[in-house]
Structure 1
């Protein structure tokens, strides 16, 4: 029996846990707080208003010191926001890993892969990029607001062999059986940058303007702002010699339409007075541009506006 551990019970963590709970595999959910762990233990996971059959699920939390009692996971899905990846969290995740464990990282943006690869080794690390959309409705409840696809692949690092393809295929097959569309990718750099540009164009504008994703397409002015952000990011990608899909601008508009009624995660963070992921999105683009002496004035402006909203 395969043992999957999910670290982080936010919207996507709960969604994937609910889907995987319907399989016959062993599942451990590690929450940040004892209160959420207790809610999941007592009430299970509610997906789209329906309580899932909580077969083979163990719930633990970092807060009460239980995390780690689940033992010997085959895969750990790290499903916290990049802002939550502190040295303390990395140490905690490492303590959960057995010799056979592979860490699968679902973070947006860039930068986390180097930190985690250095900590656990690239031969123990897979990156995941998902277009699944979910909204957390409570400690143990989640709505699946948009069906997407999840790409999974290894990273290359000098002196380290990547995770074997056989394990990657095993994982994607497992997710498919759980009802999550998944594909193995041999070009995760392109996948990561594609998701980064989509987020860096849509999320900050929704947060600044306090609008849903689809509202960005209602005004010529917001469409022009989106295009400015996109063009600047594409200049940087070209300078970094990163190949991106030719239809990426059309994809960004399609994402806005497909998630028209959604509040972006950045808008939700601003509304709830939490720190956003702006540093790992537009901020990461600005850091790369600065190293190459490239100016991204529109990205810098939206970055500063979101930081002002945080403060």
Structure 2
């Protein structure tokens, strides 16, 4: 199958690289520096079990998705509308678009732009771009995808490429579960400039995280969303399984780029205000990250 990756950052390059390694025709659409490096020497895929240069096609042009049966949509939440409009004219009618994004409303926003099926995916992976065309995998890697007409086929395709994948009938609840993890870790990691393992060792951090999680769960309940699993245990496991990982918000700020904070803690604050649910801990984290972004000259988050 031809597979397009719209947004060849750390997440897109990791999953695209795994699919290319499994023999699929993969085209990665990303920034010029990464595209140039991948055109010259392939994608350097450094995982916890192997390091390998994987041949891939790469382009800066969204039209490169033409002919793709599956598109991994991996852009930042703030770029969903623009990126969706850019690929819309080039997608085959029967293509499936898999949204591998943070936040809980990207699938809905993208489906409003595209007639093709858009399937939500919850991403649990620790990755970073270690250099142009070089993605480093630091932990985990599983996906949870929503049900769709071809959801089972997509899950099998991903599993055959070494990507643990399961299909969930409660996709919105699964997305909220991931949102809560992001709200607990992302801003704090960015503010402190610490990886998860060191972050949780500081006095008071776990208590702040508990406050953030409690607010998120209250907002989810107010929105009628059932969040699956043991959220507190999932929060604990993030630091245990990814101790060296910096949050995507921390990585964005370190590079002077806008973060997705408006679509993480900021989303919870806005949704809480709409539902009449107080969210003071999320509001403080959202505000501090916004102030830090302004200080380093990055565009406002989201």
Question: TM-score, normalising length from structure 1?
Answer: 0.89
Gaps of 5+ in 1: 155-162
| Residue in structure 1 matched with residue 35 of structure 2 by the alignment | 37
- Whether the aligned pair in 2 keeps the contact of 1:44 and 1:51 (CA below 8 Å) is no
- Whether the aligned pair in 1 keeps the contact of 2:269 and 2:283 (CA below 8 Å) is yes
- The DSSP-based 3-state class of the residue aligned with 1:245 is coil
Q: Say whether 1:239 aligns with 2:222.
A: yes
Deviation per CA, 1:15-62, whole angstroms, max 9, x where unpaired?
A: 1122111222221111233x32221111101111833341xx322213
CA distance, structure 1, for counterparts of residue 107 and residue 13 of structure 2? 23
- Whether the aligned pair in 1 keeps the contact of 2:4 and 2:64 (CA below 8 Å) is no
| Residue in structure 2 matched with residue 115 of structure 1 by the alignment | 109
| Residue in structure 1 matched with residue 52 of structure 2 by the alignment | 51
| Residue in structure 1 matched with residue 76 of structure 2 by the alignment | 81
Q: Say whether 1:68 aligns with 2:68.
A: no
Moved over 2 A (4+): 49-53
Deviation per CA, 1:72-104, whole angstroms, max 9, x where unpaired?
A: 11011111121222x432211212311111111
- Whether the aligned pair in 2 keeps the contact of 1:58 and 1:70 (CA below 8 Å) is no
Matches within 5 A, 1:176-187: 176-187=159-170
Between the two proteins, the alignment pairs up a number of residues equal to 291
Using the TM superposition, give the Cα deviation of residue 5 of structure 1 relative to its aligned residue in structure 2, in angstroms.
Answer: 0.7
- Whether the aligned pair in 1 keeps the contact of 2:41 and 2:53 (CA below 8 Å) is no
| Residue in structure 2 matched with residue 137 of structure 1 by the alignment | 130
* Greater alpha carbon shift after TM alignment, 172-181 vs 42-51: 42-51
- The DSSP-based 3-state class of the residue aligned with 1:286 is helix
Gaps of 5+ in 2: 295-302
- Alpha carbons of structure 1 residues 88 and 241: separation in structure 2 relative to 1, 3 Å: closer
| Residue in structure 2 matched with residue 160 of structure 1 by the alignment | none
Matches within 5 A, 1:95-244: 95-121=89-115, 124-154=117-147, 163-164=148-149, 167-244=150-227
CA distance, structure 2, for counterparts of residue 288 and residue 300 of structure 1? 12
CA distance, structure 1, for counterparts of residue 144 and residue 165 of structure 2? 6
- Whether the aligned pair in 1 keeps the contact of 2:186 and 2:250 (CA below 8 Å) is yes
| Residue in structure 2 matched with residue 263 of structure 1 by the alignment | 246
- Whether the aligned pair in 1 keeps the contact of 2:84 and 2:110 (CA below 8 Å) is yes
- Whether the aligned pair in 2 keeps the contact of 1:216 and 1:223 (CA below 8 Å) is no
| Residue in structure 1 matched with residue 6 of structure 2 by the alignment | 7
